[in-house]
């Protein structure tokens, strides 16, 4: 398939308040770079609908609205530096997942390890680690 996607997107939970921003439908992990637009680009991004999640940068704070279609929507506010740290950790985790999946494919699907790993890398918008896959 040309258009691969990793459905789900990124979820953010404020552990102090218990509020969780869950990406809406039509949002996937391949769109996670939109979070960096909040920090370095236009200062805002939306992440699907039902719920209509929204992230807006306001100075050094990023305001995450759980459902912008609701006037009483819960919000999460976090420092822009904290969001950048979380995004860097997510990138590291996805890269580690790809490495583990590539090794698994090398052991379990040796004749198909290269195309499986390449497809995962494309879906996650990561660099294909290439052989060896074991």
Would you write out the chain's pLDDT as a tens digit for each of its 134 residues?
Answer: 667 788 889 999 999 999 999 998 889 898 899 999 999 989 999 999 999 999 999 999 999 999 999 999 999 999 999 999 999 999 999 999 999 999 999 999 999 999 999 999 999 999 998 887 76
Helix (H, G, I), strand (E, B) or coil at 13: strand
Query: By 3-state DSSP, what share of the chain in percent is helix, strand and coil, each rounded to 5?
Result: 40, 20, 45
Q: Could you tell me the pTM of the whole model?
A: 0.89
Separation between Cα atoms, residue 127 and residue 108, nearest integer Å: 22
DSSP per position, 18-75: --EE---BT-BGGGTTHHHHHHHSSSEEE--BSS--EEEEETTEEEEES-TT-TT--E
Q: Are 37 and 58 in contact (CB under 8 A)?
A: no
Token look-up 């960096």 returns 36
Q: How far apart are the first and last CA of the chain?
A: 25
């Amino acid at each position: 398939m040309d258009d691969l996607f990793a459905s789900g997107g990124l979820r953010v939970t404020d552990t102090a308040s218990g509020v969780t921003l869950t990406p809406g439908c039509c949002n996937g992990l391949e769109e996670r770079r939109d979070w960096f637009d909040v920090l370095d680009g236009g200062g805002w991004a939306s992440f699907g609908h039902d719920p209509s999640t929204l992230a807006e940068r306001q100075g050094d704070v990023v305001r995450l609205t759980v459902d912008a279609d609701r006037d009483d929507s819960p919000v999460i506010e976090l420092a822009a530096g904290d969001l950048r740290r979380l995004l860097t950790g997510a990138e590291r985790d996805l890269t580690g997942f790809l490495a583990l999946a590539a090794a698994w494919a090398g052991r379990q699907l040796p004749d198909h390890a290269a195309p499986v790993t390449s497809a995962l890398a494309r879906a996650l918008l990561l660099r294909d680690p290439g052989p060896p896959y074991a």
